[in-house]
Every structure is written in structure tokens, then in C-alpha cells.
């Protein structure tokens, strides 16, 4: 018995000893594991598994930021970027429900942890991730900023996860919770060039982030799961995106951010997508943005405009902010006016250039040989030629390629909108097709400040990248005549009421350097009697302009236009009086602005200042202006041009009658008649053979120039009915100004032009006539005395 008891005690002791061994091993393994984890974290922090960002990088994480182009009324016109269309926003610019959606979906205990969610991590280990992952918002941000895409290799994934943990804890120490949230929204790629929440909001909903509603916020947060998979575009995965959005809404309800009623109602709604891609070739003010790109490149090349470290700024990645003078509302009105008028005008041009009406369409006055020569030159200057030449193709191979049918998308006006048509066409035929299109250039500026408010360089930047505001120079026609009149008024102190004979005049050869005698004729070939200067300019009478040119000489006129900012070549010959020089819209608007600004020329301004990403001003515009004309001469010239819109070629701006367009195109000028009643000074211009149509229009605080024409001057309307400036260009001005006046916030003037206090030149022809009668010994006459030229 005693032996049995002793044996039992021995066995019991052995069991106890064996259990102690297990406990001992457990603690050894546990402590060893803890030490191993600590060692791994230390090794990772020391950079054994790859370099980690130091505190300076954490303070200023490197992200590519797009340069933002900002309008005078605070709207984003566009951006310059290479790969990253990213413009950061602060936490204060994020709506609360957007932040709530993110926390509810991605990290419910975000405000409770310090970078690592212990409960979530333990759950992920126990359930092997089947009940959700454990990555906090801070970890996901560290991955986006510094770690990169997870590797497929198990060991690499483990070390990457460790790096995430370390960086996440550092981020939590470095930044506030709000700053981490803002960085997370700013860094994510939402697809379709939507880099960051601001770009995504604009692209998918046409809104700033603060304007997003709950369902829109939920959709964008849902895209965090996988923006490539959950792409809301109609051709991609809108159903999957809607389902994912509804999951986010359910999470928001689960954590008390919205109630069940709100969740249920929102889940039934469609996405409400307003997809508007942001690209360099689409959007608002595309031609102006491309002009600005060249401006910014030149600015960055100047050694005076360098970063503190001496390197040049990169307009595609340094997050500059360029504050422009463009008003986004006026820009939209200008683009809308072009888009309303040009399809209708184009329809008429196509009608006149059907094969049965014009076998050489779209050209007139050219032989087959002339057309072939023109097309061959266009071929050698084209993009296809350049690319193939660079690829090493022979000239024979390149020419042959133009005669092989090719799949392509070509520009077309469809239902009054710029669009594309997918087709198969020979490149040579597509070139001729494009020769049919009419183009336009339009610029609008404040004459007192020089601030350019609208800039439309063409009908579609995507297809026609030549800017007809600044790059293109075309014959200005009768819009040049006010320069001749202004010179004569300045030199001879003429009144708009002075009278000249309406008879042909010949300026003999070599008088002003012209090699041959010059005898201009009137467009209607009507002569006889006399005309006042105001009537002559209003009706664009060539003989009167020629007489003024003969009196003052061409050189003073050239001197004036040069002072008015026209840098294009203007020869000092008499024929410039009728508008033979080629000048840009940009130059013409700047020059005309001096008339509205009491004779002071102000150089057009497009950029007011430039800031870096931190708001430091890097560039501040300095106005450039100079006195060119006396106040009297400028005012009298304006008074003369008021006659153009009162009774002359611009009179349709005030008319109540129907337009003159063919019945098929009765709606060609939407909103015509315009029925303006306020003072407007202007001048139409039509060049020889109707190749170019112009209208320059002014009110006291806004000067706008419009040009319309085809790429080649041999492509033009057959008659003056549609080919004159009053029909081609003036309607765009009229529709634009009607929209501007409807928006009272713009404060576009409807008042009189400022009259000089001591005006010595009589501009009221009734008063002028009475004065002439009282000064004359002869009998009373019906018209003022004829000038003795």
C-alpha cells in the first residue's frame, strides 16, 4: 500500500514537472516571438529590408502636382500635367459626409488607434482575412506614398506590411488625423485622369469636393476598393459601381452616420454621373490654355524665375497656380456663341459646295493644277508626313500612304455640336474634307485694364490646333479703315460731319512708294455726290478712305498702328487703307481698345500672378500702357464707328427685321435680331472674294474682335450675301454680348463712351450744320460744306 502511494506521488511529480516544461517553453517561445518581432521592426526601421522615408520626406512627401489655371472669378479653367492630374485640397474643403463615408468603409476605429488597429489585426490573423482586412487609413496612405504595390512574393509581402506599420505610426506622430484624411483623398488615383479627390469630383460630377452630396461621396469612396474595377463610365462598370456605392451607404448607416430611411432612399437612386473628362484637348478655353502653356514654358526658362535650390519649375508637376484674367462665365458665353453660329454658317457653306454647285469644292477661282499644287503643299506640311519621315520612310512611300483607305475619326458638326464621325477614308480625301471647314478666332478684353476676358481660337482644339487668335494672321479688310480715319482726325482736326466727294481718286505711281497708280473702287461701283465721314465709314466707302489716305500719307498711319501694338508687317503704301495687311485678332483687339480708352494703348494681359504650391507669389504682372492718340481724336473715331451700328454695315445689331439667310437656314443666327439699344461702336470687314469676315465691336468697358474664314483663302463664299463680315462674324459678337448683358454681375457697360471735357470737334451733325450755315455768307445748304482736299 505504501509502495503504491509512493508510486502515485512520483507519477504526480513527474506530470507536474512535465507541465512546467511546457509552460517554460511557452514563455520562451512567446518572449522569443516578441523579441523577434521587435527585432524585425528594428531591422526594418534601420533599413535592412529597404530604405524608409526619413522625417524630412515624411514632412514633405513627394507627389506630382498639376499646375492649375484659375480664372478671374476663381474657377479652374484647366491644368497642366504629365501623368498626375492632381490638385490638392485641405481637410476644410472636404464635406463631412465624404469623410464619414471613408471612415465607415475603410477604418471605423480611425480616431481610436495610432496607425495600427490592434483589434483589426488580431481578427485578420485569427480569421485569415475572411472577415475583413486590417489596413488602417494611415497604413493605406503609407502604402500609396512610400511602399508601393504589394508584391506577390510572400516574404516580400510580409516585409512590405511591416514597412506599412512603421510608416503608419510615423505618419500618426507627424500629422493630425485631419491631415492624414486629406492626404489620403489627395493621393488616390480614381481613374480617367482623376488623380485625387478634386480631379475626381470635377471629372465624374462637374463639382468641387465641397459640393458633393452623400450618394456622390459614397460612390467615390467605394472606388477606393479598386478604381480600375469600379469604373463608373457607361462602357465600363456602372452596375458594379452602384452596388459598391450601396455597400458604402450601408456602412454609413451601420456606424450611425445616416439613418436607415436615408440609406434606403439613396440606394435606389442612379449614380447621377456627369462625366466630363479633363484633358489637354478638351474642356474650357482650350486654345487659351495652350497659349498659356507656351507662356509658362518661357517663364520657367528665365533664370530669374527659379526655385530656392536654383532648379527650374516644372509646369507639369510642381503644383503652380496661374491666376489669369479670363472670366469663366464670359469664356463660356464666347464658346457658346461660336458653337451656335458656326454649325449653321457651315451648313450654308456645305450647301454652296456640293459637287453639282461647285465641282472644285471647296475652292473657287483655282484650276485643277492650282488645287493639286495646294494639296501637295498641305500634304508635305502635315502631321502624317512628319511622323512617317521621322520613321525613316521614303518620300514615295509617304505619298503612297495618302491614297490608301484608312480607318479614322473626323470632325463634324452634329446637331449643332462639335463631334466626330468614325469612317474609312483616304488621308488625301480627309485633307480635302477638312479644307471645307470654316474657322473662327475671337478675343474680348477690358480696354482700361487690358485684361483679356475671353479667348476662342477655333471651333475644336482637338481637331484644329491652330490658334486663330494669336497664331493666325489674316487680311483685315475694312476693319483697318478706322486707323486711317483716326490719323486724319488727329492731323487735320476733322469732324464726323465733314463732307468729301464720293468720286474715284487716283494716287499716282511713286507718290508714296507705290509702283503703279492706285485707283480704288467702291464695292457697289456707285459714285457721285458727297458723304459725311460718319456716313462713309458706316457704309465702308472706299473712295472716301482713299482720299483721307492721300491727304495724310501711309507712313503716319503705319506709325499709328505700330504704336497701337500691331507688330505684323504693315507696308507704308496707300492700299493699306482698304485693309491689305495680315494681322491677328489679338493685335486688332489690342489696337481698337485704345480708342475706347481715351487714346491710351494698354497691352493685353492674360496672367495677373503666379503662385507656388504653398501660396508664395512668384510672379506679379506689371501693366504696360502708353499714350497713342489724343482724347479728342480717340473719341471722334469712336463716334464715327458708332455710325456703323446705327445705320451702316453693323445695323442689324439694332434691327427688328428678319435675317437674310435662305429659308432652309432661317435659324442660322439664333436670337437674331439682337435689338441692342445701347451705344455700340464697331466696324465690319470683308476681304476680297469673301475670304475673311471680321467684326470689331466696342462698348465702353469691353472690346471684342471676331474673325471667320476657311484655312485656305481659295475656299470662300461665292457672294457677299453670306461672305461679308456682317454675316460671318458679327452674329458671334451679337450672341456673346447678349449673354454678357443678361448676367448683370459682369457689369458690362450699356452707357455712353466717355466724352472729353473740352471737346473742340463737333460730333453732332445738326449742330455742325447750324454752325456752318451761320459762318457762311452763301445760301442755306442741305449738307455741310465739302472739304477742299
Distance CA 340, CA 669 (A): 8
- Beta pairing, strands 582-583 & 474-475: antiparallel
pLDDT at 159: 61
102-144 pLDDT, tens digit per residue, is 999 988 888 888 667 656 555 555 544 445 555 788 878 877 7
Distance CA 672, CA 79 (A): 36
Instruction: List the beta strands (DSSP E) in 251-330.
Output: 321-324
pLDDT surpasses 90 at 14: no
pTM for the whole thing?
A: 0.84
pLDDT surpasses 90 at 656: no
- What is the chain's mean pLDDT, rounded? 85
Instruction: Using alpha carbons, list the distances in angstroms from residue 473 to 49, 59, 505, 560, 570.
Output: 62, 51, 29, 19, 12
The percent of residues in the chain predicted with pLDDT above 90, rounded, is 60
pLDDT at 39: 53
296-324 pLDDT, tens digit per residue, is 999 999 888 888 888 999 998 899 999 99
What's the mean pLDDT in 544-568? Answer: 96
417-467 pLDDT, tens digit per residue, is 888 899 999 999 999 999 999 999 999 999 999 999 999 999 999 999 999
25-59 pLDDT, tens digit per residue, is 666 666 665 565 555 555 545 454 455 555 555 55
pLDDT at 664: 44
Distance CA 183, CA 189 (A): 12
Q: How far is residue 639 CA from its own chain's centroid? A: 35
Distance CA 246, CA 264 (A): 9
Q: Is 434 exposed, middle or buried (0-12, 13-18, 19+ CB in 10 A)?
A: middle
Return the SS3 of 413: strand
What's the mean pLDDT in 631-643? Answer: 96
pLDDT at 665: 43
pLDDT at 130: 46
Residue with more model confidence, 659 or 569 = 569
Number of neighbouring beta carbons within 10 Å of residue 331: 25
> Which of 326-340, 355-369, 442-456 comes out lowest in average pLDDT?
355-369
Place of cell 457607361: 234
220 upstream amide cis, omega within 30 of 0: no
Number of neighbouring beta carbons within 10 Å of residue 411: 18
**In terms of Cα–Cα distance, which of 228, 201, 229, 203 is closest to 216?**
201
Return the SS3 of 128: coil
Grid cell digits, residue 751: 452707357
Place of cell 499646375: 67
Amino acid at each position: 500500500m505504501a509502495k503504491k502511494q509512493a508510486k502515485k506521488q512520483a507519477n504526480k511529480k513527474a506530470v507536474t514537472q512535465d507541465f512546467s516544461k511546457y509552460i517554460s517553453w511557452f514563455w520562451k517561445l512567446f518572449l522569443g516571438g516578441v523579441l523577434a518581432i521587435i527585432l524585425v521592426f528594428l531591422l526594418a526601421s534601420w533599413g535592412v529590408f529597404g530604405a524608409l522615408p526619413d522625417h524630412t520626406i515624411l514632412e514633405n512627401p513627394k507627389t506630382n502636382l498639376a499646375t492649375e489655371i484659375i480664372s478671374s472669378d476663381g474657377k479652374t479653367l484647366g491644368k497642366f500635367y504629365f501623368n498626375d492630374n492632381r490638385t490638392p485640397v485641405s481637410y476644410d474643403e472636404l464635406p463631412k459626409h465624404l469623410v464619414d463615408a471613408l471612415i465607415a468603409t475603410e477604418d471605423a476605429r480611425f480616431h481610436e488607434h495610432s496607425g495600427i488597429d490592434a483589434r483589426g489585426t488580431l481578427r485578420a490573423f485569427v480569421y485569415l482575412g475572411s472577415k475583413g482586412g486590417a489596413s488602417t487609413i494611415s497604413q493605406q496612405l503609407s502604402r500609396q506614398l512610400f511602399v508601393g504595390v504589394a508584391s506577390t512574393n510572400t516574404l516580400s509581402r510580409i516585409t512590405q506590411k511591416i514597412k506599412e506599420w512603421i510608416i503608419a505610426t510615423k505618419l500618426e506622430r507627424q500629422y493630425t488625423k485631419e491631415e492624414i484624411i486629406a492626404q489620403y483623398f489627395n493621393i488616390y488615383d480614381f481613374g480617367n485622369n482623376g488623380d485625387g479627390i478634386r480631379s475626381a469630383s470635377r471629372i465624374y460630377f462637374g463639382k468641387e469636393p465641397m459640393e458633393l452630396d452623400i450618394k456622390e461621396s459614397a460612390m467615390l469612396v467605394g472606388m477606393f476598393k479598386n478604381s480600375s474595377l469600379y469604373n463608373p463610365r457607361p462602357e465600363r462598370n456602372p452596375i458594379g459601381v452602384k452596388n459598391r456605392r450601396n455597400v458604402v451607404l450601408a456602412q454609413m448607416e451601420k456606424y450611425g452616420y445616416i439613418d436607415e430611411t436615408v440609406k434606403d432612399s439613396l440606394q435606389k437612386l442612379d449614380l447621377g454621373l456627369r462625366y466630363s473628362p479633363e484633358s489637354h484637348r478638351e474642356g474650357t478655353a482650350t486654345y487659351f490654355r495652350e497659349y498659356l502653356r507656351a507662356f509658362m514654358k518661357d517663364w520657367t526658362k528665365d533664370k530669374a524665375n527659379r526655385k530656392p535650390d536654383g532648379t527650374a519649375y516644372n509646369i507639369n508637376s510642381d503644383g503652380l497656380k496661374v491666376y489669369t484674367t479670363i472670366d469663366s462665365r464670359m469664356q463660356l458665353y464666347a464658346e457658346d456663341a461660336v458653337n451656335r453660329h458656326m454649325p449653321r454658317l457651315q451648313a450654308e457653306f456645305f450647301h454652296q459646295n456640293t459637287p453639282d454647285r461647285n465641282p472644285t469644292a471647296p475652292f473657287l477661282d483655282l484650276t485643277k493644277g492650282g488645287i493639286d499644287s495646294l494639296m501637295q503643299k498641305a500634304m508635305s506640311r502635315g502631321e502624317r508626313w512628319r511622323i512617317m519621315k521621322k520613321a525613316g520612310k521614303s518620300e514615295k512611300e509617304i505619298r503612297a500612304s495618302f491614297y490608301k483607305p484608312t480607318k479614322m475619326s473626323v470632325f463634324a458638326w452634329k446637331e449643332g455640336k462639335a463631334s466626330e464621325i468614325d469612317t474609312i477614308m483616304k488621308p488625301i480625301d480627309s485633307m480635302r474634307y477638312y479644307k471645307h471647314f470654316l474657322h473662327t478666332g475671337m478675343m474680348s478684353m477690358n480696354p482700361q485694364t487690358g485684361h483679356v476676358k475671353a479667348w476662342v481660337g477655333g471651333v475644336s482644339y482637338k481637331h484644329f490646333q491652330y490658334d486663330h487668335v494669336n497664331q493666325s494672321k489674316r487680311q483685315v479688310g475694312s476693319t483697318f479703315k478706322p486707323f486711317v480715319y483716326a490719323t486724319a482726325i488727329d492731323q487735320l482736326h476733322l469732324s464726323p460731319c465733314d463732307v468729301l466727294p464720293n468720286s474715284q481718286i487716283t494716287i499716282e505711281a511713286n507718290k508714296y512708294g507705290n509702283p503703279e497708280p492706285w485707283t480704288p473702287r467702291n464695292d457697289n461701283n456707285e459714285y457721285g455726290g458727297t458723304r459725311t465721314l460718319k456716313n462713309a465709314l458706316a457704309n465702308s466707302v472706299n473712295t472716301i478712305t482713299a482720299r483721307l489716305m492721300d491727304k495724310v500719307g501711309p507712313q503716319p498711319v503705319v506709325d499709328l498702328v505700330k504704336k497701337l501694338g500691331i507688330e505684323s508687317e504693315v507696308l507704308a503704301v496707300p492700299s493699306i487703307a482698304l485693309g491689305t495687311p495680315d494681322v491677328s485678332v489679338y493685335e486688332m483687339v489690342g489696337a481698337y481698345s485704345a480708342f475706347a480708352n481715351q487714346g491710351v494703348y494698354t497691352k493685353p494681359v492674360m496672367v495677373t500672378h503666379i503662385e507656388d504650391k504653398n501660396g508664395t507669389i512668384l510672379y506679379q504682372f506689371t501693366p504696360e500702357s502708353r499714350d497713342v492718340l489724343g482724347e479728342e481724336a480717340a473719341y471722334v473715331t469712336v463716334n464715327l464707328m458708332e455710325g456703323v451700328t446705327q445705320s451702316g454695315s453693323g445695323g442689324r445689331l439694332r434691327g427688328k427685321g428678319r435675317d437674310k439667310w435662305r429659308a432652309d437656314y432661317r435659324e442660322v443666327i439664333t436670337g437674331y435680331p439682337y435689338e441692342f439699344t445701347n451705344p455700340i461702336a464697331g466696324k465690319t470687314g470683308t476681304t476680297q472674294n469673301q475670304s475673311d469676315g471680321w467684326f470689331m465691336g466696342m462698348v465702353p468697358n469691353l472690346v471684342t474682335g471676331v474673325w471667320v474664314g476657311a484655312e485656305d483663302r481659295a475656299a470662300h463664299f461665292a457672294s457677299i450675301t453670306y461672305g461679308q463680315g456682317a454675316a460671318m462674324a458679327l452674329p458671334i459678337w451679337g450672341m456673346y454680348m447678349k449673354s454678357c448683358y443678361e448676367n448683370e454681375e459682369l457689369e458690362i457697360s450699356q452707357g455712353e463712351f466717355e466724352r472729353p471735357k473740352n471737346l473742340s470737334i463737333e460730333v453732332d451733325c445738326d449742330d455742325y450744320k447750324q454752325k456752318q450755315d451761320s459762318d457762311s455768307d452763301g445760301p442755306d445748304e442741305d449738307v455741310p460744306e465739302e472739304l477742299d482736299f
